[in-house]
Amino acid sequence: MRSNVRCVLFLCLFGLSPSVWSAWNWSGTLNSKIQADNRYTRYIDKAQVFGEIWGSFEAFDNESWRTSVDFVAREGSKYGLEGVFYQLYVEKLLKDWNSTVKAGRFQRSDSLGFYSLDGASILYRLPEQGLSFNVYGGKPTRQEDVRSVSGDWLYGLEMMSHQQIGWQNNVLPIDTWLFRIGFQQFHDDNTSTRLSMANTLEGQFPQSYLHAYELSFMATLETNTGVFEEVYASLLLDVTENSRVQVSYALYEPKSPFPTFKEKFYSNYYQGRQDLLRLSFDQALTDTFSYHLGGLRAARKAEADIGYGFDLGIRSAYFRDWDLTADFGMLEFGKSSTYNLYFGSTYSLSTKSLIVCNLAFSLDTSPLYGENKAAGTELKYRYKLFSDIFLDLAGSYIVNSRLNDEYRVGLQATWYFDNFQPKVMN
């Protein structure tokens, strides 16, 4: 009875009768939150207090139609009442042409950032050849709380290839090959053109002393300036099923300007543009214990020096309901340095509830503000009220010796809903 009432209420919100959706699959989440937060205004204003509702809804039939809606409505002490649709589109599968047409507002993520595109796209597939082509265009609109962009219009073309190679040899066996190449032009006060390419090889070794590998490379070039906006290269080498070596290089800028509690205590976290070279080793000694260690080299546009550091950590799940982690990281960067110690724990109180407790300590030295010592704690509690409704209470507080303290506390309720209708076999 309770679930039927929820379904009717939700459908009424969208102005639709239950019979309209009876042959459709639909699912989504509705998330409501009340939060007090001074993390981003602690130097210029009082804490922000706001309430918000996030909604995500997707519906599709068993034939060719799909629609998706993502929205947020918020009222706060700083900006008042506001709301926005991040996604609102309709998608149609054209089976006879091996194509999918999408129109409306949908999200994209690339070197420009994470943004919504008011426009359309056409995806054409050649399944026997493992190829697909995507053409898109429209007006980009900015999204909040992430590195984003807005402009007059943009368009682009992408080609994707997924090939099963099956080339076996003792040096570099290749099982699968994924390849993507793209072209994009962005128009605003100025016009910019970008070329992108991504390439991934995967394979398993026949030798007993090596297990598998993954070799990846991705780059985006802005042609007007000749500058690479993003570069990523990585070699994952599984020595065994339980041990892995990774060498990676990344030239990037974080898409989110607001780090999580844990990211604030990453020694290599940086808001601006940086290139990062890493070497790491991960190994699971048992089913319940694993560790990792690594070294890194960092270079930043705003700094003249090169930074070096290392990190190491352990994870234990020896106790059935208790997951423990401990991490240490450091980075010496010219006259700046950071040392971080992080402890995390997740404990299942019962089948309906769990609690997360994280502790962190850091020692930072900077020519701008001198030496700052920080200690932080984060607590999260989740309770399953019903099979599809969860309550979350979370808060964090970071005490600083030279900088202003920061805190966040919030209460959240999340409703997961779905209506699965199996396809009728002919």
Q: For residue range 327-376, what is the model confidence (pLDDT) as tens digits? A: 999 998 878 889 999 999 999 999 999 999 999 999 999 887 789 999 99
Q: State the burial class of residue 19 (Cβ atoms within 10 Å of its Cβ: 0-12, 13-18, 19+).
A: exposed
CA gap 245, 217 in Å, rounded: 17
What pLDDT digit, counting tens, does each position of 249-278 carry? 998 877 666 677 777 777 667 777 788 999
Please list, in sequence order, all residues whose beta carbon lies within 8 angstroms of the beta carbon of residue 416, skipping any fewer than 6 positions away. Answer: 27, 28, 29, 388, 389, 390
CA gap 147, 138 in Å, rounded: 19
What pLDDT digit, counting tens, does each position of 113-148 carry? 889 999 999 999 999 999 999 999 999 998 776 767
**Domain over 41-419 is classified CATH 2.30.29:** no
CA gap 155, 153 in Å, rounded: 7
Residue 281 in contact with residue 245, Cβ under 8 Å? Answer: yes
379-398 burial, b if ≥16 CB within 10 A, otherwise e? Answer: ebebeeeeeebbebebbbeb
Segments making up each domain of the chain, as ranges:
41-419
- Give me 172's structure tokens: 């570099």
Q: What's residue 172's pLDDT?
A: 85
State the average pLDDT for the chain. 86
For residue 422, the 8-state DSSP code is P
Q: How confident is the model at residue 424 (pLDDT cuts 50, 70, 90)?
A: very low
